[in-house]
Amino acid sequence: MNKTDIFKIAIVGPESTGKSTMSAYLAEHYRTVWVPEFARAYCEGLTDTPTWQDEINMFNGQLALEYELLPKANKILICDTTFITVKIWSEYTFGKAPQEVLDELPKHTYDFYLLLNIDLPWEHDPLRDFPHMREHFMDVWYKELRELNARYELISGNGPERYANAISAIDKFLATQ
């Protein structure tokens, strides 16, 4: 099986919507690997707010991690977020996104996106900054996915219901392929 036979499923959404937990769960369910969010580990090593260069580094790191794990995937590669997050944070923080991110967006596609809803309670984390802006960033995610003409489904619910909704959405997507 080569990398073109693998469906890339992106798990996206605002902060504190359970992307990492969902990604790990889905990878186990589908017996495949998942690509962790590179920015999380990267930002844990920073002593200050991410700079423009840090955003570019996170973009490159996310792509490299995805390429590294793609050959290990079993029909599906689950991606805990994508480098679209770099675009979103850069535009919010700096008023624009790095050109290399903008250039790569139309070329580096995902087959299906699960947009995780903000219906989970906010959980504090030192790397999360915007509990009061969840609705704003949810709107941004809708806009980004529409601009990409992405195929996606909104995933809501708590606990087992949320996981079941995600599995159902992926299974429906796979059935059409």
Give the pTM.
0.92
Domain tally, the chain: 1
- Measured CA to CA, the distance from residue 7 to residue 133 in angstroms comes to 32
DSSP string, 48-77: SS--HHHHHHHHHHHHHHHHHHGGG-BSEE
Residue 62's pLDDT band (boundaries 50, 70, 90)? very high
Contacts for 128-137: CB closer than 8 Å, 24+ residues apart = 128/15, 128/16, 129/15, 130/14, 130/15, 131/15, 131/16, 133/14, 134/14, 134/15, 134/16, 137/14, 137/15, 137/88
Question: What CATH number is associated with residue 87?
Answer: 3.40.50.300
**Residue 151 CB coordination number (10 Å):** 13
Q: Is the pLDDT of residue 94 over 80?
A: yes
Q: Do 80 and 65 touch, CB atoms closer than 8 A?
A: no
Q: Give the tokens for residue 39.
A: 């920015």
pLDDT for res 1: 36
Host domain of residue 136: 3-175
**Which tens digits make up the pLDDT trace of 112-126?**
999 999 998 776 555
**Which tens digits make up the pLDDT trace of 1-49?**
345 689 999 999 998 899 999 999 999 999 999 999 998 888 788 888 8
